[in-house]
Each structure stands twice: as C-alpha cells, then as structure tokens.
Amino acid sequence: MGRFTLDLAHMLAGGMVLVSFMMLYQNRLLGLLNVFAFHAVVLAASVAWQAWIQAAPHLYVTAAIALVLKAIVIPVALHRMVMRLGVHREIETVGGIGITMLMGIALVALSMVVMLQAAAEADPLAREDLALALSVILLGLLMMVTRYNAVSQIVGFMSLENGLILAAAGAKGMPLVVEISIAFSVLVAFIVIGVFLFRIRERFDSVDTHALDDYREGRQ
Amino acid sequence: MGLIREMAVQGAQMVFVLLLAPLLLGLTRKLKARMLDRVGPPILQPYRDLLKLVRKDVVLAENASWLFRVAPYLIFAATWVAAALVPTFATGLQFSWTADLIAITALLASARFFLALAGMDIGTAFGGIGASREMLFASLAEPAMIMMVFVVALVAGSTQLSWVANFMLTHASLRVSLGMALVALIIVALAENARIPVDNPATHLELTMVHEAMVLEYSGRHLAVIELAAALKLLLYVSLIACVFVPWGLAPPRSGFWPLVVGAGTYLAKISVGAFLLVLFETSIAKMRVFRVPEFLGAALMLGFLGTLLLFVSRSF
C-alpha cells in the first residue's frame, strides 16, 4: 500500500474530526445543518476511498447510502422541520464555545491514547482510522450533551452514527446487510425523533429540552 | 564573488517584495470591486496614494512624543526584515539562514507592539480602542501562529523556512496535521492583516475598526510608511502560505539565472491566485462582531493544538 493511499485515508478521516469540531463551533441551527450535510459528504468520500483501498465493492453502496440519506434527505428534512418549528433564529449552547472546544480536544486526545494502545497490533491504516472514528463518536456525544435544543441533539446523534460508519468501513469484513440495516434504523430513528419533536413542541411550546426537566419525577 | 552574488539576489528579493506589496493591495481592491460589480480604482492606485502621502506635510498632535514619530519606521523596518526572511521566488537566500519562523513571528509581534504603543500615545479614544482590540486579538493569534509553527516543524524537522519548503517539495504528501496548520495559518493571516471577518480594511466606521483606529492620528510620510508596512505584511503572509504549502517552482539555493526567473513567474502566479481566493472569501462572508473574533481565533488555536497533538501521538498523521 502506497504512502498516498494511507495519507488520503487519514486526510478524509481527519477531515471528519475537523467537521465535527465545526459543528461544535456552529451555534446557529441552519448553519449547523449545512455543516452536518458536509460531514456526511466527507464520510461518503472517506468510505468510498476505503472501498477503493480494500477493493470491497459493497462499501461503495455504503458510501452511496451515506451520500443520499445523510447528506441530502435528512438535512433537507431537518431544514424543513426547523423552518416549520420556527426555531431557525435560535442560538444556544451550554457554557462557552471555547470550553466546549477544549473539551473536544481532550476527547480527541483520550480516543487517540485509548485506540493506539488497544489496537497496537492492527495495521496502521485501520488503527489510526479507528482512533479518528472514536473521536468523531465522542464529539457527537459531546454535541448531544452541550446543547439544549432538541434539533441539535438529533444532529449530534446523527454525527455520532457517522463516526460508527467510519469505524465500520475502516475495519475489514463488515457485511453489507448490517450496514444497510444500520442505515435504515437510523432513518427510522430520525422519523420517530421528528414525530417526537412536534409532540414536544405541542406539549411545551418549545423544543428546549430543559422544559422536559420540570416534569421529571423525583425532582427536588 | 559567490557571496556578492548571494547578497545581490537577497537584495533583489527585498526590493522585489517592497515594490510588489502595493501592487498586491491594488490587485485585491480591484478584484473585490469587480466582484461587487463596481469598476474600482486602478491597480496602481496604492502607489499613487503612497507618493501623494510622502509629498504631504506631517501634522503632529501637540502632545505627540518621540515614540509617535519613531514608531512608523520601527514598524516598517521590522516588517521588511521579516518579509526578507520568507522565501518568495528562491529558497536558501543569504539572510534566510540567520532566522527562522519563530523569529519572523517575533518580528511581527514587535511591530504590533510598537503600533499599539503609537495608537495610545496621543491619548485619543479611538487609538486606545484600536490598541486594546489589537492586543486582544493578538493574545490568541500569536499562540495559534506558534502552534502552527510547531506542527510544521514537527513534520519537516526544522523551523527554518528554506528547509521546510525544500522538505515539502521532496516529501509532498497529504497530511491531516498539515491541513489543520493551513486552516489555522489562514485564520491567523486574516486576523493579522485586518481582513474582513475580523476587521474591514475599507471602512472608517468608528465602532468596528481596529487597525485603522490605531493609525487614525498619522498623516503624511508617517502614514505612507505605515501603509507600506501593512501592505508588506499582507504580502508576507501570502508568501508564507505559498512557500510552506505550495512550494512548487521555488528556485533552489545557488541556482542560475533561469530558475530564478521561473521562480519569480510562479511566485507572481501564486500571489495572484492568493489574492483572488482572499477576495472570493471576503465577498462571501460578513464581518464578525468584535466579541465573536476571539472565538474565531480560538478555533485557529484549537486547530494548532489538535495538529500538534496528532503528531505527538503518531508521526504518520
């Protein structure tokens, strides 16, 4: 395997980590959706490159699914949902962006240390791809934790799932059936969440998840 | 004889950047005007502005100290020396072995220090505002620059620009960390040159200006020298990006006449493309609020950190 294939694979996977950071940085909902669509495009490119390296044609299908569903269908649907909910002007973050970014760097450091130790025997391409994929997953989790708005929590969840696909594409031998079922379960989850969003809005007149806390049982 | 020749090439480079700097400024203004569907001033307008300023009398405030009068020359000297250290059309010039990227950063930082001092010297409110904002931005832009230098140095094994350019030329590869360093350097360059998302070079609207606020009290030849230094700084950053990330076409050390001509040609092409991309970026984005800028620069600092971190974990990034 040439130096170039390895470098491009790193570049694309590292690009996903970078776009995850862009999502953390973006505090407007519509901007966030655009960055999320870009995240999916980079994912599709990364998976397609893995398909080329591993000569695994079924990964092209995964890339196509990522491109169509995640980069076009879901962002467009979320966009319309945000417009219908009328929350497209809202700005929201927990704490400052600076602190969130620092936490993100700490998470990337953590996943590097963990993965490079745990998978020391694997070949460098798979190992470093896994480390970057774990960073994307952790950054998606961080995104879900640091946002009040239900829509951006969904985006966090979807970007986490992008990280899972990146990890799956890096590790050789994931069957196509599994990948397709993951893709469709994400779509189903998306629809269910969408329905929930409107329910939450009807019930509480807001998609701010803090409104839900007031109704939790056992709260002092 | 060899030494004289080397010195001549180095001197040619210094004169070349000095002559080219206003042209780059004129080119960006012209391109920007064309992109906004205006005719715009001629490309040579900055030269005429400078000539006119040189011919005019200096109007000094009554309470201006010696520092106010000396600062323009100090700023210009520091920026020119820094520009002389960046390989433009050839690597391995005579002066480039005396100082590295960290020294260039330090030279630019000292120029900024004097500019901020001069801004506060007269004691007007605008100078103070400009100086304090400049220092606020600098406190994030300088660490980001240093982190970017570390990334490049970890990859290339040296902070010496000629060495780095040579390394990039021979070991060209796509690397995640270098991509991060490039984005960080672009953000720092935009902030340092008072370009659009951070500051608007074309406005004198009181509440938004940073660089212009500091030089508001200057006139005549002092203003000309400061404007020339600002133009040189823009050229310096474009050349820095070009020589580290697109080093193709640079003439090797002690090369003959024709490689130098080829190097100069590709250099002109590179800075034209750089000016075009800068203008494209500026016209497609709105200026930020001043208090958003630290977040923008914080992102550059974060990218620098991330790149260094990846390189420390594994050299293949």
B143-192: pLDDT as tens digits: 999 999 999 999 998 999 988 998 888 887 778 888 889 999 999 999 99
> Which helix (H) or strand (E) is B222 found in, with range?
helix B220-245
What per-residue confidence (pLDDT) applies to A217? Answer: 62
Confidence band for B1, pLDDT divided at 50, 70 and 90: low
Burial bucket for residue B15 (CB in 10 Å: 0-12, 13-18, 19+):
exposed
Out of B174, B303, B314, the one facing A11 most closely (by C-beta) is B174
Residue B135 has pLDDT above 90, yes or no: yes
What per-residue confidence (pLDDT) applies to B104? Answer: 94
Question: A85 is in which domain, residue-wise?
Answer: 3-213
Residue of chain B whose Cα is closest to the Cα of A5: B174
Question: B169 is in which domain, residue-wise?
Answer: 2-313
Q: Do residues A119 and A130 make contact, with C-beta atoms less than 8 angstroms apart?
A: yes
Burial bucket for residue A91 (CB in 10 Å: 0-12, 13-18, 19+):
exposed
Q: In angstroms, rounded to a whole number, what is the distance separating the alpha carbons of residues B10 and B232?
A: 16
Question: Does some domain include residue A179?
Answer: yes
Taking the CA of residue B301 and the nearest CA in chain A, the distance in Å comes to 10
Q: In angstroms, rounded to a whole number, what is the distance separating the alpha carbons of residues A16 and A220?
A: 41
Whole-number mean pLDDT of chain A? Answer: 82
Chain A residues touching B174 at Cβ < 8 A: 4, 7-8, 10-11
Query: Would you call A10 and B302 a contact, using CB atoms and an 8 Å cutoff?
Result: no
Residue B70 has pLDDT above 90, yes or no: yes
Taking the CA of residue A118 and the nearest CA in chain B, the distance in Å comes to 14
Q: In angstroms, rounded to a whole number, what is the distance separating the alpha carbons of residues A206 and A200?
A: 7
Question: Does some domain include residue A181?
Answer: yes
What per-residue confidence (pLDDT) applies to A35? Answer: 93
What per-residue confidence (pLDDT) applies to B206? Answer: 67
Mean pLDDT on B288-309: 87
Mean pLDDT on A12-26: 88
Encoded amino acid at A53, one letter: I
What per-residue confidence (pLDDT) applies to B200? Answer: 82
Residue A4 has pLDDT above 90, yes or no: no
Residue A85 has pLDDT above 70, yes or no: yes
Q: Do residues A171 and A126 make contact, with C-beta atoms less than 8 angstroms apart?
A: yes
Provide the ipTM.
Answer: 0.72
Residue A164 has pLDDT above 90, yes or no: no
- Rounded to a whole number of angstroms, the distance between the first and last alpha carbons of chain A is 60
Q: Do residues B95 and B162 make contact, with C-beta atoms less than 8 angstroms apart?
A: no
- Chain center to CA of A79: 17
- Chain center to CA of B60: 28
* In chain B, % of residues over pLDDT 90: 57
Q: What is the pLDDT of residues B13-49, one digit of tens each?
A: 999 999 999 999 999 999 999 999 999 999 999 999 9
Sign of the alpha-carbon dihedral angle for B8, B10, B13, B19: negative
Q: What is the pLDDT of residues B179-236, one digit of tens each?
A: 889 999 999 999 999 888 888 877 777 677 788 888 888 999 999 999 999 999 999 9
Question: Does some domain include residue A95?
Answer: yes
Confidence band for B134, pLDDT divided at 50, 70 and 90: very high
Lowest mean pLDDT among A63-72, A114-123, B72-81, B100-109: A114-123
Q: How far is CA A80 from CA A92, A194, A200, in A?
A: 19, 11, 17
Question: Does some domain include residue A86?
Answer: yes
B295 touches A: beta carbon within 8 Å: yes
Q: In angstroms, rounded to a whole number, what is the distance separating the alpha carbons of residues B192 and B234?
A: 8
A114 touches B: beta carbon within 8 Å: no
Residue A11 has pLDDT above 80, yes or no: yes
What's the structural domain count of chain A? 1
* In chain A, % of residues over pLDDT 90: 15
Question: Does some domain include residue A220?
Answer: no
Of A91, A130, A131, give the one whose Cα is nearest residue A111: A131
Query: Would you call B305 and A105 a contact, using CB atoms and an 8 Å cutoff?
Result: yes
Q: Do residues B244 and B175 make contact, with C-beta atoms less than 8 angstroms apart?
A: no
Question: Does some domain include residue A66?
Answer: yes
The encoded tokens of residue B101 equal 């990227």
Question: Does some domain include residue A219?
Answer: no
* In chain A, % of residues over pLDDT 70: 90
DSSP label at residue B95: G
Q: Do residues B93 and B263 make contact, with C-beta atoms less than 8 angstroms apart?
A: no
What's the structural domain count of chain B? 1
Confidence band for A92, pLDDT divided at 50, 70 and 90: low
Residue of chain A whose Cα is closest to the Cα of B294: A98
What per-residue confidence (pLDDT) applies to B152? Answer: 93
DSSP label at residue B291: G
Length of chain A: 220
B173 touches A: beta carbon within 8 Å: yes
Q: In angstroms, rounded to a whole number, what is the distance separating the alpha carbons of residues B307 and A14?
A: 10
Q: Do residues B219 and B56 make contact, with C-beta atoms less than 8 angstroms apart?
A: yes
Sign of the alpha-carbon dihedral angle for B76, B79, B85, B89: negative
The encoded tokens of residue B291 equal 């208090």
Please name the residues in contact with B180: beta carbons below 8 A apart, sequence gap of 6 or more: A14, A18, B151, B303, B304, B306, B307, B310
Confidence band for A29, pLDDT divided at 50, 70 and 90: confident
Q: What is the pLDDT of residues B243-277, one digit of tens each?
A: 999 998 888 887 788 888 999 999 999 999 999 99
